[in-house]
Structure 1
Amino acid sequence: MVQGTSGQTVRLTVAQAIVRYVAAQYSVADGERRRFVPAALGIFGHGNVAGLGQALAEHADRLPFVQGRNEQALGHMATGFAKATKRRQTLAVTASIGPGATNLVTAAALATVNRIPLLLFPGDTYATRRQGPVLQQLDLPGSGDVTANDTFRPVSRFFDRINRPEQLLTALPQAFRVLANAEETGAVVVALPQDVQSHAFDFPVEFFEERDWPIRRRAVDTEEVKHVAELIKRAERPLVIAGGGIHYSDAQAELTALGKQTLLPVSETFAGKGAITEDGPWSVFGIGLEGSPNTNRLAERADLVVHIGTRLTDFATASQSLFANPDVRFASINVVEHDAVKQGATAIVADAKLALTALAAELDGYCVPAAWADEVEAARAAWVPVRDAALDPDTRFPKEEHPELPETDAVLTQGQLIGLMQEHARSGDTIVAAAGGPPGDLQKVWDATGGRHAHLEFGFSCMGYELPAAMGVRVADPDPAHRITAFIGDGTFIMMPTEIVTAAQEGIPFTVVISENHGYQVIRRLQMWRTGEHFGNEFRYREGEGALVGAVERAEAAAARADRLEGDYLKIDLAQIAAGLGAEVRRPTTAAEVRTALDETRGARGPVVLVVPTIPHADLPGAEAWWDVSPAEVWEHVDTSEKLAEYGEGLAMQRWHG
């Protein structure tokens, strides 16, 4: 027994204590108080049903529970919810031991990479050990205290294993401290041995009183602001790169105001998409591998790059080949010092909203040099008609001029499908994408101004995130006037469609738009770029005998090359799959049919799936940026010398900035 200041205690199991504690925690940001964790998600198994399952059933009025279908998807749903609430709330996810727990590892990594709070309670193997090796225990001969849950350690910002009830008294407050800390947040994992979940303890009553966790804005150092302002004033060709930190800080208005005030050209990363809320001559779209080629040309010439709220991954920097000006310098605003000093930047380590306000005051009366403003406006003006033409759904794609493209029933390109969604989008709508072609295309051409939101997860580029994350966004934004859309390819849909069942069960209205282009086409595109030959990326039947049975014998007989996946496209009825999972389904083909389907399903009360055939291999205009993906240096059947020479030219452009 541990007594609090009042001396009063309450006897609870570990699981009951967790539920009561979690339900009593609140976040406070900018004077707004919210339940930090308003609900729990999970799937029960032998490793959590008698512990957390019992506690959640007993205290369903305190912490509502949502039954899911795949633990990884539930983690993504919680992360999508947390991102949509600008890291002021999250959801708890529980799983059984073994595979149920390790299914959450990918979700944990995604949350940690993207700096999003996620609270996980995976079951764990017995702490008492008297049972001997139990079902799903690793049972390693050299490490008696290692369990499958130790795989969470490198992908979490906080990890603890509760081997005794009283450990909750320190573990849970530390867990919530990390969740609420903008500099440290990410996946928080509290592993719960199956037996300990049901063990009882006399907890201090005060432990379960409501507690507020302030989400603090890191204050600005005025000297740091002055240093960055001076660099901007001295620069002839400054450029801003806006990342996801703009959204988490709720600093879109401040960034937009700074652009209008100074004409500093502002580009956006994937996570930063929508950081600019108004169109203007200083808004220059996406940057990097899937950005506007015109923006990338500006980045090559910039003599000062100010990166704000971004980790500056290789997609943004074109694998460190983008900033080609020999005199380029860097400045930054970031709440995380680790990210602030990247590229040797002169840093303002502070909250983005506060820092941008201070920087605008320091730059009062400043405007970028007229020659640079003219160059920026010209670059922007050159890209807009190219983008608009690629998105125009009423211009028939000339398939007859492209005999190299495979024959399908599709009449629209993926770009034209995006154009249709763009013309349908209204203020308050959110589009969600994460892996494959959709996020890259949205980064390049989507207009996220005018109150339209883009939720692009590309820090971990995780297939399967989009659909459950869109559900999380909908939970965060229940306004029926706002449409929440997950934009995915058929490869992602086949990988993880199961939470449609959860959406139907819970009445979660959201839309999935599937670009049916028959495979992992963006990776095929990369494969062709770097090797000149495609293999294993399209959804095709196997030639020859068409089965893996006997494959070893055929390979040994040197006949494997004749039995590749080069037959007709697979006949997969995505619409029937979605309908069987509980969605309202349409399969529009033409632009008019897509418009009708979008209009008629807006405001639906449950999940909606639109399966739209799109022309394979018909891509948007390229970004004209380089990516460090090395071709094979030797290949028995293919001459890669040209590809290697091209790769070598890219390597020569890479620079270290320090």
Structure 2
Amino acid sequence: MREGVNVIFGHPGGAILPTYDALAPYEESGKIHHVLVRHEQCAAHMADGYARATGRVGVCIATSGPGATNLVTGLATAQMDSIPIVAITGQVPSNLLGTDAFQESDVVGVTQPVCKHNYLVTDIHELPTILKEAFYIAREGRPGPVLIDICKDVQTATGLFRYDMEVDLPGFEPWPSVDAEALAQAAELINRAERPLILAGHGVQLAGVSRELMELVEKAEIPVVTTLLGAGNIPESHPLSLGMGGMHGEAFANRAVQACDVLIAMGMRFDDRITGRLDRFAKQAKIIHFELDRAEVGKNVVPDVAVIGDLAETLPALLPKIEARRHQVWIQEINEWRADSQATDILNYEVDELIPPYVIRQLWHCTRDARPIIVTDVGQHQMWESQYYIHEHSGQLITSGGLGTMGFALPAAIGAQMADRNRLVWAVAGDGGFQMTLQELAVLKQEKNLPVKIAIINNGFLGMVRQWQQLFYQKRYVGTPVVSPDFVKLAEAYDIPAVSVRKPQDVVPALERALATPGPFLIDFRVKEEVNVYPMVAPGAAVDDLIRRPKPAIVQGYSGVEPHW
């Protein structure tokens, strides 16, 4: 409670039972609410979704052995996306460590590569300090998960509890000081640029500087490309927003990356999904990298200027140094590329079948005024969401970016909804990923009809893998056709209202019914099977060397939906 935690996600077991017993009076008084998950991986994903939605540390809890090891995928997901989580696990009594006791596993050893830090607690007197350090490490600097593995005898021991100590961690520098000279060099490059471009990542959201980013963008007329996790850093309806870049990014956005003369990277780590082939990435540009984590600077792309520090400090400090500029020729060129991309947008086709981009666009139409949180799983639907849902607010999209974890959507949406029961939260999942964690539907009912709305993009395949098989493996669809249950009947088994949609004209009525229904609602969208995500950067290609959809012979408005651009 002293860390602002009032919701935890977990599953009890023998080695963590004393901790659960200690929680009893706090749960009874309503000070701490425990959410019982159906699988420990989902406890980590729920804590992750809660943390992303609130900006606070998410907490998950599990027992020893399989309970603790089940957390690993969720912890790795949080680590890759810089999400603050504290995971508390039970361990066998300290005198049994190393004896292969029942449900013993070396959880510290297992989780060390996927956590920011972890602890094994064998002495009750160390526990208060470790707890305080764990929250501090998870939260401060570049966020990440921290695991505390507590032996059972420590949980039953007694000792003096203190929490007023100062955290002192020699060598841990979460907030490096800002280099004024580097900031001045960055400003000089930006002021001289004729074709500047901002590449904005998740760090903008984590630092809470969307407003300052917009001020820079409009003052110097700099267009913005975002990473997947940077969606909404500036409103995507803004004329200087180019949307997402990278493997499935907008063709004109990637073209702008390859044509700019100064690339200003903010709070992103130049991962392979955004850069494509590194030796051909933005070779014509001077690169400025604003980054908190020193380890990320020069790891993939060597910048000309590195501005190390918290964006909450560096970006406001940069703004007074930036001259008001206009780049009319550059913006006009980008808009011509934008129009060219629009010509191949699938929503311009005359199509009678139900296709996923249409579902996503109609979801945007029906929900945009409610400022919802959209939580996606991983795969084709994730990319379609990033392309066809127009994000107007930072943090509006919650998704597994770095690890690409299938099964993420439903539990992470539950975590986000537990942060605010009154906010509209949609989980968008594929039929494959949804089946990895669908047991968490039970949590929606146990948590008094938690009002998460669910959209399943059901195409009968592991869609993104099938797309790769089609494009690169001569349509050898091995292991990708998916047999699914009747999702409507499945939802009804959990006492959750649901409907199946097969025709374009039924999409909006189903969405409106879901929005009008108190509590959870599931829609099974039975979409056309073999629809691909375009554009696509092939493995080993440069980001402007795209596989693009052929222009249709007839271009007509698809069911009256205005284009994305």
Using the aligned pairs only, state the percent identity.
25
Query: 1:120 corresponds to which residue?
Result: 87
Q: Is the 8 A contact 2:414 2:444 kept in 1?
A: yes
CA distance in 2, matches of 1:443, 1:218: 33
Q: 1:525 aligns with which of 461, 467, 490?
A: 467
Number of equivalenced pairs: 533
Q: Does 1:596 align with 2:553?
A: no
Q: 2:539 aligns with which of 627, 630, 638?
A: 627
Displacement after TM superposition at 1:267 (Å): 0.3
Question: What letter matches 2:506 in structure 1?
Answer: E
Query: 1:492 corresponds to which residue?
Result: 433
Alignment map for 1:193-208 (pairs within 5 Å): 193-201=151-159, 203-204=160-161, 206-207=162-163
The 1:304/1:589 distance shift into structure 2, 3 A limit, reads same
The 1:208/1:602 distance shift into structure 2, 3 A limit, reads farther
Structure 1, unaligned runs of 5 or more: 1-22, 26-34, 139-146, 399-410, 541-569, 630-645, 651-658
Displacement after TM superposition at 1:171 (Å): 1.3
Q: 1:166 aligns with which of 117, 125, 150?
A: 125
Query: 1:238 corresponds to which residue?
Result: 196
CA distance in 2, matches of 1:70, 1:191: 18
Q: Is the 8 A contact 1:282 1:377 kept in 2?
A: no
Displacement after TM superposition at 1:131 (Å): 11
Question: What letter matches 2:40 in structure 1?
Answer: E
Question: What letter matches 2:407 in structure 1?
Answer: G
Identify which range, 527-536 or 256-265, moves more after superposition: 527-536
Query: 1:581 corresponds to which residue?
Result: 494
Identify which range, 511-520 or 334-343, moves more after superposition: 334-343
Q: Is the 8 A contact 1:47 1:97 kept in 2?
A: yes
Displacement after TM superposition at 1:329 (Å): 2.2
Q: Secondary structure at the match of 2:14?
A: coil
Displacement after TM superposition at 1:56 (Å): 1.1
Query: 1:331 corresponds to which residue?
Result: 288
The 1:179/1:450 distance shift into structure 2, 3 A limit, reads closer
Displacement after TM superposition at 1:533 (Å): 3.6
Alignment map for 1:132-531 (pairs within 5 Å): 133-137=100-104, 147-183=106-142, 185-201=143-159, 203-204=160-161, 206-207=162-163, 220-277=178-235, 279-320=237-278, 323-325=281-283, 327-342=284-299, 343-345=301-303, 346-368=305-327, 370-384=328-342, 386-387=344-345, 390-391=346-347, 396-397=350-351, 411-427=353-369, 428-449=371-392, 453-479=396-422, 482-507=423-448, 508-531=450-473
Question: What letter matches 2:427 in structure 1?
Answer: A
Question: What letter matches 1:376 in structure 2?
Answer: I
Q: Is the 8 A contact 2:460 2:484 kept in 1?
A: no
CA distance in 2, matches of 1:124, 1:245: 35
CA distance in 2, matches of 1:537, 1:483: 35
Displacement after TM superposition at 1:385 (Å): 5.5
Q: Is the 8 A contact 1:120 1:189 kept in 2?
A: yes
The 1:155/1:281 distance shift into structure 2, 3 A limit, reads same
Query: 2:170 corresponds to which residue?
Result: none
Displacement after TM superposition at 1:501 (Å): 0.8
Question: What letter matches 1:43 in structure 2?
Answer: H
TM-score normalised according to structure 2 size: 0.88
Question: What letter matches 1:111 in structure 2?
Answer: A
Q: 1:44 aligns with which of 5, 8, 12?
A: 12
Displacement after TM superposition at 1:384 (Å): 4.2
TM-score normalised according to structure 1 size: 0.76
CA distance in 2, matches of 1:124, 1:130: 8
The 1:609/1:125 distance shift into structure 2, 3 A limit, reads same
CA distance in 2, matches of 1:466, 1:321: 34
Displacement after TM superposition at 1:422 (Å): 1.7
Structure 2, unaligned runs of 5 or more: 168-172, 547-565
CA distance in 1, matches of 2:473, 2:227: 28
CA distance in 2, matches of 1:310, 1:123: 35
- Which is higher, the Rg of structure 1 or of structure 2? 1
Q: Secondary structure at the match of 1:192?
A: strand
Q: Is the 8 A contact 1:75 1:107 kept in 2?
A: yes
Q: Deviations over 1:282-313 (max 9, x none)?
A: 21111010100111112122232111111221
Displacement after TM superposition at 1:278 (Å): 5.6
Question: What letter matches 2:53 in structure 1?
Answer: A
CA distance in 2, matches of 1:601, 1:210: 49
Displacement after TM superposition at 1:193 (Å): 1.8
